[in-house]
A = this chain, B = another copy of it.
């Protein structure tokens, strides 16, 4: 089922996915749809049911993205023993718990058991590759491949090299994720939260502040975002937006005029909320008002359909051939 336009993927016949939670299942669905055999390694007794149920849930989205989904699970298998699971893998994507010692233990086992040619990536959202790799003999082989959840749907993969990750590993990871139809971005430094989560967190802090202060409700704030900055940032990032907002003078003009005003009067005025009891009560009550009418699964499916519609309109679905580097 491999896309004939993706020769890179001919080197990736077998993937080991370590940890079959939400992220692992999403990666598994994407890998399988791209014709890569997947072995899931997860110690839970009911992992096979969990993964098969999860894959059935995301299959409609994979199909809407233009990916082949017939006989999707033909290449799927399970192997609780980690060393056995990775022994024939061309790529290992690890999605274990976010605990450094546990990840180090997992990766020591993988390093000993996986083939020398295997691409080794961790989905961690918070632990630097440098920290995990102190436990490895060949730290140059490990790289962070952090997806924005869910990986089968959101294009971004942040590739974050550790201090000792080799340039070759980084380039292999970039080419692999691009061939999957993702939009990999290689970061130049390891920083906590990487980039997308830091930005999301910065915006969300002000969201919590504005709701806690009673300026808007959650539902109103969400409407404001989708009808302004969300719509803008789906087609042009913040720097491009401000470059175009500065008139013919572009970003330099923007900085001199609006940027400095932002620094002087807006940034200091931004909120510093805390999740204290009153704030949490407000947030929870408003979430129930705004989102309480459907299950999370139903609402997520609705959101994902809208997002796929948007990606198709922009020619950015993995099946469209436009997302590849």
- Which A residues form the contact surface with B (CB < 8 A)? 22, 148-149, 154-156, 158, 183, 185-189, 191-193, 195-207, 210-211, 213-252, 255, 259-260, 262-263, 265-267, 269-270, 272, 274-275, 280, 283-284, 286-287, 290-291, 295-297, 299-300, 303, 306-307, 309-314, 316
Given A198-B270, A214-B188: A244 in contact with B300 (beta carbons within 8 A): yes
Q: Contacting A204 at CB < 8 Å: which of B156, B193, B242?
A: B242
Residues of B within 8 A of A255 (CB): 275, 280, 283-284
Using A230-B233, A244-B296, A311-B231 as known contacts, say yes or no to A197 and B238 having CB atoms under 8 A apart.
Answer: no
A198 close to B226 (CB less than 8 A): no
Can you show 5 pairs from A to B with CB atoms below 8 A apart? A148-B229, A221-B239, A243-B296, A243-B299, A251-B291
**A232-B154, A233-B230 as given contacts; A287 in contact with B193, CB under 8 Å:** no
**B231 close to A237 (CB less than 8 A):** no
Q: Which residue of B lies closest to A206 (CB)?
A: B202
Supply 10 further A-B pairs (C-beta < 8 A) apart from A243-B290, A246-B296, A248-B295: A188-B216, A191-B215, A195-B216, A198-B270, A202-B203, A205-B270, A207-B238, A226-B235, A235-B307, A243-B291
Instruction: Give the docked Cα–Cα distance between A310 and B313 (Å).
Output: 6
Closest residue of chain B to A301, judged by CB?
A: B244
Q: A299–B244 contact, CB under 8 A?
A: yes
A296 and B204 within 8 A (CB): no
Q: Which of A214, A219, A313 has the most CB of B within 10 A?
A: A313
Which of A186, A237, A248, A313 has most B Cβ within 10 Å? A237
The answer to whether B222 and A237 touch across the interface, beta carbons within 8 angstroms, is yes
